[in-house]
Amino acid sequence: MRFEHPNFLFALLLLVVPILLHLFSFRRYKTFYFSSIYFLKNIQEETKKVRKIKHLFVLISRLLVFTSLIFAFAQPYIPISGLGKNTHSVLAIYLDNSFSMSSIGANGNLLSESKEQARKIIGNASASTQVLLVTNALSGIEQKICTKSDALNRVDKIQFSSLSHPLSEVIQWMEETVDENIPSSYTKQFVVLSDFQKNQSDLTTIRLAKSIYFYPIQLVPEQKSNVSIDSIWFNTPNFKTRINNELNIQLSNHGNDEVSNLELEYSVNETKRTVFVNIPKQSSKEIILNYSDLSVGEKIGHVHINDKNVHFDDDFYFTYTVAPHANVLLIQGEDADNKIAKTYKLDSYYRITETRSTSFLPETTIDKQLIVVNGVNELNDGITDALLKFTQNGGSVLLFPGTKIHFPSWNSLLHKLRLPTISAISTSKLNLTSIAYSDPFFQGIFDKKPEKINFPVVQKIYQTRSNISSIPILSLQNGLPLFVRNNNNYLFTSALDSSFSAFTSNALFPSCLLRSAELSQQKSELYLTIGSNNRFSWNAPSSSDDLFHIQGQGVDFIPTVEKIDQQTYISLLHPSINQSLRQGVYRVGNSDISKALPLNYSRKESSISFYSKEEITRHLTAEKFPRLYYKSIELGDQNLHIELEKPFEYWRIFLLLSLFFLLLEMALLKFLR
């Protein structure tokens, strides 16, 4: 046993005072004269022994009172085995500052409560203790071992972070850092201050040396409720003015109670609206909002809900662009059909550029979204290379072969586009019988599956060798595909000549043309998730060589720019960048052009499912961690006493004992008269 304040033990010398008072009585006696002292002498002889016993009991109880008080002030404790006052030690503290720690406790959010506990733990450590303070940043700065005063200053500066790591990864990082910087002779103590959220605390995979003292300290929120905006998307493939936009918003109620009349506000430039929604407990709900864009240009959207508990996932930002027109390039071959150009010219939204296959130049593909190969029999190397680069940069290709195609040149392109290769012509007269209604290509074209439809007849078709990556959209009665796609690249397996089919006279023909053009629009991402997106494509043309900048929310930095096959990509995946980013809308660009860049936090911290004490102790068993000391902080228990170097203290026991002996002394004085 050790004492926190051993100097108080010198007060035990004062116990000699009541002993001396007991042995030497300084009371003055008066003399009384009686005619006969016979009866008084008898009384004195009968009570002398009882009086001595009574005084002895009172003395013992009084000595125990003072002894207990002295021991209580000296604060006795039993230290951890091997950890004493003169032993070198390192204290590694992981303070979970992920967004799940923004849940409300009795005295503010859980991060504030954990910072207060961290201050107490560091403050109570010995002066020679080395401290490793770790958050979810896991940065180079946090690898430095610091003193108590430096650690306390760093605790005050800790803020919420969008970064989060599995608990096993953090503990492994801490152990490696300590092993690299601290001698093996030091006593090592690891403290984890976290809410132990289930989707981040992978307790079963935690590995730790058995010589390390492990202190998992769980902070429990007062209310376990949260509503989050998970994602948004649009049903329309591209955006035009004065057409209906269906904005889909997915909300999730992570609590155990139904949420009623939740206020949801959304705005898209000039459009602003508020709705109220109800969400059942432990479920998700999709909200569809309809509106129209009245002008072209860049649109900035924002969705907000008024949630009462966790707030980082109450906002969602997105952007998109309403283009004034779409550019389509027609490569006309020997068997070109003029109905393709006529179809696109019916809609002023599409701007058509026509070129002959014999005079094709790669420069004509610039600023185009869709290239239609119309009745070309032989594809030269220039066309093939240009089409491949065009698709690699996000463009779409729609292929209509001629009547007498050159199979090697066509199959070379089809193989690289991962579309079915073609061979000899089949002359079997067949009907179109199958339409992939569930495919995204036909989404919005058919409100419901039509009971009767006039299918075209196909007299001739090129036989195909299937490719596992391609999806048949239209199929004939013998199972051969008539129209197939791979991503946004399309192949029609028959020529448009009337001797091959009557497809150009069917209503499906203009529908397929217009739908291919709609899906070909190079759309930027509606939003990016901080810490999850490696890079995003930059589709806007720029003639300036100035460096790109990302500005907004109080930051201004230069991102990493990559160019692959004439396509520009901007990277955000860097720990130092992600740590400084906040949710919101930024501007990205150079002196030539700039665009809006919406960034949102990841929603993986939205879940409020936490491990219970029983689950934690079941996973973190004494067999795996023989030096395990689990504690929990509930309802803002700021009186929780956590002493790492002296976990077994007895000053409270001695204080209660002193009170007991004082009451015993009073009882003896009263009842033993």
Q: Is residue 145 part of a domain?
A: yes
Chain centroid offset of residue 560 CA = 23
Separation of alpha carbons 582 and 580, rounded Å: 7
Q: Where are the alpha helices (DSSP H) in 475-555?
A: 508-519
Same domain, 157 and 191: yes
DSSP single-letter state for residue 8: G
Q: Is residue 283 part of a domain?
A: yes
Q: Is residue 109 part of a domain?
A: yes
pLDDT in tens, 116-149: 999 988 988 877 889 999 999 888 889 999 999 9
Question: CB count, 10 Å around CB of 205?
Answer: 12
Residue 287, beta-bridge partner list? 249
Same domain, 60 and 95: no
Residue 316, beta-bridge partner list? 303
What pLDDT does 187 receive?
86
Same domain, 603 and 614: no
Same domain, 197 and 232: no
- Averages of pLDDT over runs of 10 residues in the chain (673 residues) are 75 80 62 60 58 78 86 74 61 94 85 92 84 91 91 93 90 94 89 92 89 90 91 87 92 93 91 93 94 91 92 94 92 94 92 94 91 95 93 90 94 92 87 85 72 78 83 88 92 93 89 90 81 70 70 85 71 72 89 86 90 90 84 64 57 84 81 64
* CATH at 285: 2.60.40.10
Token code pair at residue 571:
């990277």
Separation of alpha carbons 519 and 512, rounded Å: 11
Token code pair at residue 353:
């550029």
What pLDDT does 429 receive?
83
What pLDDT does 539 receive?
66
Query: Phi/psi at 279 (nearest 5 deg)?
Result: -130, 120
Same domain, 540 and 568: yes
What pLDDT does 85 receive?
47
Same domain, 512 and 377: yes
Q: State how far the alpha carbon of 48 is from the alpha carbons of 333, 623, 659, 668, 669, in Å.
A: 135, 63, 30, 17, 16
* CATH at 554: 2.60.40
Token code pair at residue 231:
């994602």
CB 152 within 8 A of CB 176: no
* CATH at 202: 3.40.50.410
The total of structural domains in the chain comes to: 5
Same domain, 533 and 512: no
Same domain, 499 and 389: yes
Same domain, 380 and 510: yes
601: left (phi over 0), alpha (psi -120 to 50) or beta: beta
Q: Is residue 443 part of a domain?
A: yes
- Of 456, 486, 519, the last residue of a domain is 519
Separation of alpha carbons 43 and 23, rounded Å: 23
Same domain, 349 and 438: yes
- Of 519, 537, 560, the last residue of a domain is 519
Q: Is residue 84 part of a domain?
A: no
Separation of alpha carbons 189 and 122, rounded Å: 12
Full residue range of the structural domain in which residue 595 is found: 524-607
What pLDDT does 610 receive?
92
Nearest to 488 by CA among 383, 352, 390: 390
- Of 323, 354, 383, the last residue of a domain is 323
Same domain, 414 and 552: no
Separation of alpha carbons 557 and 550, rounded Å: 6
Share of the chain above pLDDT 70, in %: 87
Separation of alpha carbons 418 and 422, rounded Å: 12
Query: Phi/psi at 62 (nearest 5 deg)?
Result: -70, -40
pLDDT in tens, 175-224: 999 999 998 888 899 999 999 999 888 898 999 998 898 999 999 888 88
- One-letter amino acid at 608 equals I
Same domain, 32 and 137: no
The residues near 226 (Cβ < 8 Å, ≥ 6 apart) are: 103, 253, 254, 255, 307, 309, 310, 313, 606, 608
Element (H, E) at 156: helix 148-157
